């Protein structure tokens, strides 16, 4: 099985790059690559462990974020204005 750009270094035909695993976790991998990545994760211990570690790290960060106290951001702050601008840009307004 050839994975092409989804691998790196001397193990180019064996291991999935970290940024591809992040894309896989976030459902950003093209549909035509999903099956080969899933198959590889089921057959490669190293990549499967790397994937599980990334999932664990993401869950840890999310758990820590949930523990944070909310922060008040004044309506007239630069951050708030920039946030509104970006929201309008992203929503096509």
Burial label for 84, CB within 10 Å (0-12, 13-18, 19+), is: exposed
**pLDDT tens column, 11-66:** 445 899 999 999 999 889 999 999 999 999 999 999 999 999 999 999 999 889 88
41 close to 10: Cβ distance less than 8 angstroms: no
The residues, any chain, with a CB within 8 Å of residue 39's CB and separated by 6 or more, are: 1
Q: What is the pTM of this model?
A: 0.61
CA–CA dist 92, 87 (Å, integer): 9
Return the pLDDT at 64. 92
Q: Which range marks the domain in which residue 72 is found? A: 4-91
**pLDDT tens column, 22-36:** 999 988 999 999 999
- Per the structure, the count of domains in the chain is 1
């Amino acid at each position: 099985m050839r994975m092409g750009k989804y691998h790196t270094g001397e193990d180019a035909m064996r291991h999935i790059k970290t940024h591809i695993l992040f894309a896989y976790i976030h459902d950003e991998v093209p549909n035509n690559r999903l099956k080969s990545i899933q198959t590889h994760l089921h057959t490669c211990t190293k990549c499967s462990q790397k994937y599980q570690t990334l999932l664990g790290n993401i869950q840890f960060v999310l758990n820590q974020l949930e523990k944070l106290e909310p922060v008040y951001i004044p309506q007239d702050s630069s951050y708030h204005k920039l946030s509104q601008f970006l929201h309008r840009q992203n929503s096509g307004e």
